[in-house]
Structure 1
């Protein structure tokens, strides 16, 4: 018998019975009980505090809000997916806009330089938001790879107001991350930022300088 088997055998044959997992109290990370309006307010306050921009729209008019925002920021080259309904709707609306639409589902080696040097903005869907921290959560796919939200100077995210949860724990529990944990989840709380040794925040050093969230009601 190996030393490992000996140790495990002793654990299984404990005189005071088998080990049991301790009771867990998750009340500190859940149970906020916020209303829909309170969740939305907290989300917007938190993400605005770190330079995230929120634009409110409705499901019928979000494309008009997107077009207006792209014009205001003089965006001429936009990266986006092809399969997600948000990307499909945006592609149809922007087909004759003069904005160059760049496919994001290409092999990174084939357009790495182009992506880092000339892509002005990336448009992505989101799976939801977190009111407590002012965060977006995304599950990147081959259609919308993670670099679409992490590389261009401007990240445009489309968020449904009804998909905002109170806390990160509520997201994990409600969407069954324990049984269906994503292989590559992104939590985004504002544009890229870093701090030097003096703890001075700087934005856009190694990623998007701007984050715009189109919240659809």
Structure 2
């Protein structure tokens, strides 16, 4: 029997019974009670305070807004997935447009130089957002790998307005992370920034210098 097995066996044979989890009060990290409008307002206020950009779009024609955004920012080479509905709709809208669409589901070794040096922007879906901290949360997949949101100089994220939750705890509870933790969830609260250089805050040194969030509304946003 190994040392580990010995320790576990002693724990099982405790004279005062098995170990149980203590009672916990999670009220400090949940129970905000914000309305959907409150969550949206707070999310936008916080993420724009750190140089994030929010663009409100209608669900029905969000890809038309995407086309205009790419033109306005001079984006000619866009990396994106293929399977997720966000990527599929974007590809259909950009078909025939003057934008090269780069497949993101390739092995990084096959397009490392292209991704780091020749890609203008990356487009991703999001799982939702957190109102309390002004953060997006992403769950990378082979179709939309982690580097898609971390390497290109501009990250364009598509967020449904009704998927914003109050706190990080609410996200974990609502989406059952205890039963299936994501291997690599990402929390994004603005473009890349660092203050390591002469104690001066700089953007885009270690990742995207711009973060644009397309917030999709089921109805026209006023």
TM-score (normalised: structure 1): 0.94
Distance in 1, matches of 2:120 and 2:140, equals: 19
Structure 2: any 5+ residue segments left out of the alignment? 218-222
The CA deviation at 1:19 is 3.3
Distance in 1, matches of 2:4 and 2:101, equals: 58
Structure 1 match to 2:211: 211
Question: Alignment length, in residue pairs?
Answer: 217
Q: Does 1:192 align with 2:170?
A: no
Q: Give the 3 Å change call, closer, same or farther, for CA 99–25 of structure 1 in structure 2.
A: same
The CA deviation at 1:17 is 3.9
Structure 2 match to 1:157: 157
Distance in 2, matches of 1:178 and 1:141, equals: 19
SS at 1:178 equivalent: helix
The CA deviation at 1:15 is 4.6
The CA deviation at 1:28 is 0.6
Structure 1 match to 2:110: 110
**After the TM superposition, which residues 51-66 of structure 1 pair with which residues of structure 2 at under 5 Å, given as runs?**
51-66=51-66
Stretch deviating more after TM superposition (115-124 or 191-200): 191-200
**How far does the alpha carbon of each residue in 1:122-143 deviate from its partner, in whole angstroms, 9 at most, with x for none?**
0000000000011111111111
**After the TM superposition, which residues 97-136 of structure 1 pair with which residues of structure 2 at under 5 Å, given as runs?**
97-136=97-136
The CA deviation at 1:81 is 0.7
Q: Does 1:77 align with 2:77?
A: yes
Q: Does 1:91 align with 2:91?
A: yes
**How far does the alpha carbon of each residue in 1:122-176 deviate from its partner, in whole angstroms, 9 at most, with x for none?**
0000000000011111111111111110000000000000000100000000000
Structure 2 match to 1:167: 167
Distance in 2, matches of 1:7 and 1:207, equals: 45
Distance in 2, matches of 1:188 and 1:5, equals: 41
Structure 1: any 5+ residue segments left out of the alignment? none
Structure 1 match to 2:182: 182
SS at 2:47 equivalent: helix
Distance in 2, matches of 1:205 and 1:138, equals: 21
Distance in 2, matches of 1:80 and 1:2, equals: 49
Q: Give the 3 Å change call, closer, same or farther, for CA 150–16 of structure 1 in structure 2.
A: same
**How far does the alpha carbon of each residue in 1:49-88 deviate from its partner, in whole angstroms, 9 at most, with x for none?**
1110000011012111111111110111101111111111
TM-score (normalised: structure 2): 0.92
Q: Does 1:141 align with 2:148?
A: no
SS at 2:179 equivalent: coil
Distance in 2, matches of 1:7 and 1:116, equals: 49
